[in-house]
Amino acid sequence: MNSSPIRAPSPIHALFWDIGGVLLSNGWDRDQRRVVVTEFGLDPDDFQERHKLIVPELEMGRLTLDDYLNQTVFMRPQSFSRDAFVAAMEAQSVPDDAALNLLQHLAGRWRMYALNNESRELNAHRRRTFSLDGPLLAFFTSCYLGVAKPNPAIYRLALDLAGVQPGHAVMIDDRLQNVEAARSVGMQAVQFVNAAQLQTDLERLGVSA
């Protein structure tokens, strides 16, 4: 966890939320892939090598989920269906109820957006399944913007699209490197550990429900 003290805040106008590791479990990270690969009896080393080469294209919206699966799973005949594999992928998404509850309590009082790395199809599933389109006004997601965290460009682009100055925005992310990247462009940033800690850190920045 980052132990750097939080700076005295400027007036906050908007919150930018990561999704995987904050509001929900990670969607298709190492742990989730391991579960599904084991369930379907795939060679983990072969899958990981294929995944590693192509996943940036998937997360930046330049590759469809079908094309990704064609190269990582269905490049040879399998005993299971594509629908079954996708369903297992989607089942790895589970909510952090406390974090979602905090999000709902802040909704309506603060402008809030998603700023996350995710493929188009998985992002759509998670938005729909967990009703994220209500509290979050827009999704500045790597698959739509064509750039991914921790590239500082994605933070600048999201700020421009939201019409928010960096010092008046808070980035909430579980990964320290992403937090550091947000701070490098002038944003306030909080590294998420759990909902109680997040609520305390946001209150220090003047953000309360």
| Average confidence (pLDDT) over 3-32 | 85
Per-residue pLDDT tens over the stretch 25-78: 999 999 999 999 999 999 999 999 999 999 999 999 999 999 999 999 999 999
| Average confidence (pLDDT) over 165-178 | 98
- Burial of 209 per CB tally in 10 Å (0-12, 13-18, 19+): middle
How much is the pLDDT for 110?
Answer: 96
Question: Is-cis flag, bond preceding 150, omega within 30?
Answer: yes
| pLDDT reading at 6 higher than 70 | no
Q: Where are the alpha helices (DSSP H) in the chain?
A: 30-39, 44-59, 65-72, 82-91, 97-106, 120-129, 142-145, 152-162, 176-184, 195-204
How much is the pLDDT for 3?
Answer: 47
How much is the pLDDT for 100?
Answer: 98
Q: How confident is the model at residue 209 (pLDDT cuts 50, 70, 90)?
A: confident
More confident residue, 2 or 25: 25
Residues 146-177 as b/e (b if ≥16 CB within 10 A, e otherwise) read ebbbbeeebbebbbeebebebebbbbbbbbee
- Quick one: what percent of the chain has pLDDT higher than 70? 95
Domains and CATH numbers, the chain: 14-26+94-204 (3.40.50.1000), 30-91 (1.10.150.240)
How much is the pLDDT for 40?
Answer: 98
| pLDDT reading at 98 higher than 80 | yes
How much is the pLDDT for 10?
Answer: 62
How much is the pLDDT for 30?
Answer: 96
